[in-house]
């Protein structure tokens, strides 16, 4: 991954999280975190 690609991906992620905080009060990030926690538990089951 090139530096310019990494910077653009990071900027996009920061902009998305910032927009979520402003317009949706952070509900999208919270839902994503909960789904990630569920996925980790599911993957740990198969370990």
Angle between helices 3-23 and 27-46 (to 10 degrees): 120
CA dist 42 and 26 (Å) reads 25
- What is the pTM assigned to this prediction? 0.67
> Could you give the count of Cα atoms lying within 13 Å of 14 in the half-sphere of its Cβ?
6
pLDDT of residue 24: 87
CA dist 19 and 15 (Å) reads 6
**Domain count for the chain:** 1
Residue 16: give the domain boundaries: 3-46
pLDDT tens-digit series, residues 4-47: 999 999 999 999 999 999 998 889 989 999 999 999 999 987 77
- 11, 21, 33, 28 alpha-carbon torsion, rounded to 10°: -100
End-to-end CA distance of the chain: 30
């Amino acid at each position: 991954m090139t530096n310019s690609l990494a910077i653009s991906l990071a900027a996009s992620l920061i902009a998305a999280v910032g927009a979520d905080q402003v317009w949706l009060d952070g509900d999208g990030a919270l839902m994503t975190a909960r789904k990630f926690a569920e996925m980790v538990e599911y993957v740990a089951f198969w370990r």
